[in-house]
Structure 1
């Protein structure tokens, strides 16, 4: 195998891993919000609290966010170039909302993945910036399609990375000094 072909193959694997991380994160995020009526109400309340939208528009925004997250998953599944673009747009909007909430020093939780009691903080903004970098990598490293075995290997690599993102708060708590 030539060096050029090897580099192209590595780019394809890395781009596919990045796309699968984005899809996995958005899938867990959407599923966590719709898994039961209480989770959905908590997310809808978060939309109102974090965006400052009145309850009426928040009722429309919450399902639109979930629908957009599921659309990203579907677009990754069909290898559409629009998947990482839509993911980047969503992540940018989410990051702006979280950043604004952070500067207002709100004590409201994000409920980004599932019910949370952790108030929005810098860790949420950092998580989203990391996801934006992953989305950019998914877009930049799009090359040739992988064989089914390549997809399986990429999925195995993406799984633990999705778990790190989903449990970001818990992991951050492990490295945060406890108050005396």
Structure 2
């Protein structure tokens, strides 16, 4: 159970830090993107933008405090559920907008984004169960899962590029 918890803490905190940092680097671009999708006032869009970034950083911090790790996995579940519901809404409404999950992007939302979030939801859920009543991971546990967790986080962050690599090219993008 400690290895599962260590992997989940490292993966989720890496993903949330990458996501929040890329959004923070282009705060106005992310805010403008949200404003183009969600028809609310500028003040609400600003609050949503800051709230998403703050939540990702807050979850990352609480994942590393032993007394709050169970709560952190629960918060990760809630945030990932909200993100997943929003992505599902965009897919169902056929809006051709980018996810902006990791900041500005030109790729439209797809089932790949939803699948990625569902996978992260499963990991957060498994880790929440694993963290309940179990001992905190030892340093050796973190060392064992360090490479797999960081590689997994990189895959999650670059999944758009990876999925594009494996998709068939459209006839519009190919010009002899």
Fold match (TM-score > 0.5): yes
CA distance in 1, matches of 2:114, 2:36: 17
Structure 2, gaps ≥5 residues long: 172-176
Q: CA deviation at 1:46?
A: 2.6
Deviation at 1:173, TM superposition (A): 0.7
CA contact (8 A) 2:116 2:156 kept: yes
Q: CA deviation at 1:146?
A: 2.1
In 2, the alpha carbon distance for the partners of 1:145 and 1:30 equals 26
Q: Secondary structure at the match of 1:117?
A: coil
Asked whether the 8 Å contact 1:51–1:97 carries over to 2, the reply is no
Alpha-carbon displacement from aligned partner over 1:27-63 (angstroms, at most 9, x marks no partner)? 100011112xxx2122112322334433321111110
Once residues 155 and 137 of structure 1 are traced to their aligned partners in structure 2, the CA distance between those partners, rounded to angstroms, is 18
The partner residue of 1:100 within 86, 89, 92 is 89
- Could you tell me whether the CA contact under 8 Å between 2:9 and 2:64 is conserved in 1? no
What does the per-residue CA deviation read over 1:117-155, in whole Å, with 9 as the maximum and x for residues that have no partner? 001111111111111011111111122112222222222
Equivalents in 2 of 1:161, 1:52: separation in Å?
Answer: 34
What is the CA-CA distance between 1:73 and the residue it aligns to? 0.5
The secondary structure found in structure 2 opposite 1:110 is coil
Matched, 1:14 2:4: yes
Matching residue within 120, 123, 135 for 1:134:
123
Alignment match of 2:53 (pick from 45, 51, 66): 66
User: Which of 139, 153, 173 is the aligned partner of 2:164?
Assistant: 173
CA RMSD of aligned residues (A): 1.4
- Give the alignment of 1:69-80 within 5 angstroms: 69-79=56-66, 80=68
Match of 1:110 among 96, 99, 106: 99
Tell me by how many angstroms 1:12 deviates: 1.1
Structure 1 runs, 4 residues or longer, greater than 4 Å off: none
Distance 1:45 1:104 in 2: 20
The answer on whether the counterparts of 1:50 and 1:97 sit within 8 Å (CA) in structure 2 is no
- The unaligned stretches of length 5 or more in structure 1 are 1-10
Q: Is this contact kept in 2: 1:51–1:101, CA < 8 A?
A: no
User: 1:102 and 1:54 mapped to 2: Cα distance?
Assistant: 23
